[in-house]
Homo-oligomer: A and B are copies of this chain.
Amino acid sequence: MASLPQDGLKHLAEATGLSVSTVSRVLSGKAAAYRISTDTQERVMRAARQQGIVVNEVARGLRLRTTQTIGLIIPDVSNPFFASLARHIEHLARAKGYSVLLADSQENVEVEAESVKLMRSRRVDGLVVAPVGISGDHLHQTGSENWPLVLLDRVPTGYAGPCVTSDNRQASKAAVQHFLEQGHRHIVCLQGLPASSANQQRVLGYQQALQEARVPVNAKLVIGHDYAIETGRSAVHELFSQSNPRPTAIMALGNLIALGALQALRHLKLKVPDDVSLISFDEQPWAELVDPPLTTLSQPVEKMAETAMDLLFQQLARTPLNSHKQEILLPVTLIQRASVAPLAGSNRIRLTERTPLRKRLR
Contacts and interface: CB of A to CB of B under 8 A. Distances in A.
Contact of A66 (B1, B62, B256): B1
Assembly stoichiometry (copies)? 2
A181 interface: no
A58 B123 contact: yes
A145 interface: yes
Interface string A1-27: 111111000000000000000000000
A53 interface: yes
Interface stretch (A73-81, A128-136, A212-220): A73-81
A87 B76 contact: yes
A87 B78 contact: yes
A341 B99 CA distance: 48
Contacts of A148: 2
A263 B53 CA distance: 49
A204 interface: no
Interface string A25-57: 000000000000000000000000011111111
A58 B56 contact: no
Contacts of A99: 101, 103, 118, 122
A124 B77 contact: no
Contacts of A266: 289
A176 to B, nearest CB: 23
Interface residues of A, number: 71
Contact of A59 (B6, B62, B78, B143): B62
A122 B59 CA distance: 9
Contacts of A91: 104, 106
A5 B145 contact: yes
- Which one of A94, A120, A122, A263 has the highest number of Cβ atoms from chain B below 10 Å of its Cβ? A122
Contact of A1 (B54, B72, B125): B125
A209 B121 CA distance: 54
A310 B104 CA distance: 20
Contact of A146 (B2, B94, B125, B288): B2
Contacts of A103: 90, 94, 99-100
A236 to B, nearest CB: 13
A133 to B, nearest CB: 19
A80 B77 contact: no
B256 A67 contact: no
A268 to B, nearest CB: 14
A314 interface: no
A121 B2 contact: no
A262 B288 CA distance: 10
Interface of A: 1-6, 50-59, 61-62, 65-67, 69, 72, 76-78, 80, 83-84, 86-87, 90-91, 94, 99-104, 106, 117-118, 120-125, 141-148, 229, 256, 259, 262-263, 266, 284-286, 288-292
9 contacts: A1-B66, A1-B67, A1-B125, A58-B58, A83-B83, A83-B86, A87-B104, A90-B103, A259-B289
State the 5 A-B residue pairs at the shortest beta-carbon distance, nearest first.
A52-B143, A52-B142, A291-B291, A1-B123, A83-B83
